[in-house]
Amino acid sequence: MANKVKYGLCNVHYAKITKYDTEAQKYTYDTPKPLPGAVSLSLDAEGSSDPFYADNIVYFQTVTNAGYSGDFELAMIPNDFRVDILGDTKDETTGAIIENSDAISSEFALMFQFEGDVSARRHVLWRCKADRPSLESQTKEDTTTPNTDTLALTIMARENDHNIKSFIDNDETGAETYKDWFTKVWEPTVAE
């Protein structure tokens, strides 16, 4: 039985893309790391739908899929993510995190889970890019309301297979894949 509803973003992980082998047309990813404190994920589809008119009707319709863009809000961006993905550096002596204007950010896979009424659906976005977040906070008043960080994300198609995302449900068919979803970036089976 499939889910009727979804709710609850959790189990967010990221895995840095360490290499794209143009000859083998294969991506290599680091081992996924947790990205705790997920608050919300909101991604809008990018692309267009362009009609071609002939004979006084829509004769042909083209639809382009240019991935997604949107925001990922979390409690606080971990220092590992800042160094691994945003290009910040860590001072070896003091542990201070340094942002430099010449830093180059890295692409990564983003994995996460949405809870559901029957199954917790797990997702992977294979090729993501994150913009650096704004820096903001506010004074403490009568109540303490935590501030959050928001990453602007762009999700693109991979160069080798043009895949953008995938998901899996917790059912008998993919039980082993589902169980190992956050241990490595899942790759689809390719027929030879």
Q: What is the tens place of the pLDDT at every residue in 40-75?
A: 999 999 988 888 889 988 888 888 888 999 999 999
Tokens of residue 16, six digits: 């840095």
* Confidence at residue 190, expressed as pLDDT on a 0 to 100 scale: 64
Determine the Cα–Cα distance for residues 59 and 108; give it in Å rounded to an integer.
Answer: 40
Q: What's the one-letter identity of residue 16? A: K
Which of 124, 134, 146, 36 is CA-nearest to residue 81? 36
The mean predicted confidence, pLDDT, of the chain is 90
**What is the full DSSP assignment across 56-90?**
TEEEEEEEEEEEEEEEEEES---HHHHHHTS--EE
Is the per-residue pLDDT at 117 higher than 70? no
Least confident of 13-17, 107-111, 170-174: 170-174
Is the per-residue pLDDT at 109 higher than 70? yes
Tokens of residue 118, six digits: 């029957």
* Confidence at residue 64, expressed as pLDDT on a 0 to 100 scale: 84
Residues 182 and 13 sit within 8 Å (Cβ to Cβ): yes
Determine the Cα–Cα distance for residues 179 and 7; give it in Å rounded to an integer.
Answer: 20
Task: Look at 61 and 137; give whichever has higher pLDDT.
Answer: 61
Task: Look at 49 and 166; give whichever has higher pLDDT.
Answer: 166
Angle in degrees, CA 4, 8, 10, rounded to 5:
130
Q: How do the domains of the chain map onto residue ranges?
A: 6-179
Residues 11 and 28 sit within 8 Å (Cβ to Cβ): no
Task: Name every residue whose Cβ is closer than 8 Å to that of residue 89 and which is 6 or more positions away in sequence.
Answer: 83, 97, 98, 100, 103
Determine the Cα–Cα distance for residues 72 and 148; give it in Å rounded to an integer.
Answer: 10
* Confidence at residue 99, expressed as pLDDT on a 0 to 100 scale: 92
* Confidence at residue 127, expressed as pLDDT on a 0 to 100 scale: 97
Q: Which run of H or of E encompasses 154?
A: strand 149-155
Is the per-residue pLDDT at 179 higher than 70? yes
Determine the Cα–Cα distance for residues 85 and 67; give it in Å rounded to an integer.
Answer: 20
Is the per-residue pLDDT at 192 higher than 60? no
Tokens 């949405």: give the residue: 114
* Confidence at residue 11, expressed as pLDDT on a 0 to 100 scale: 96
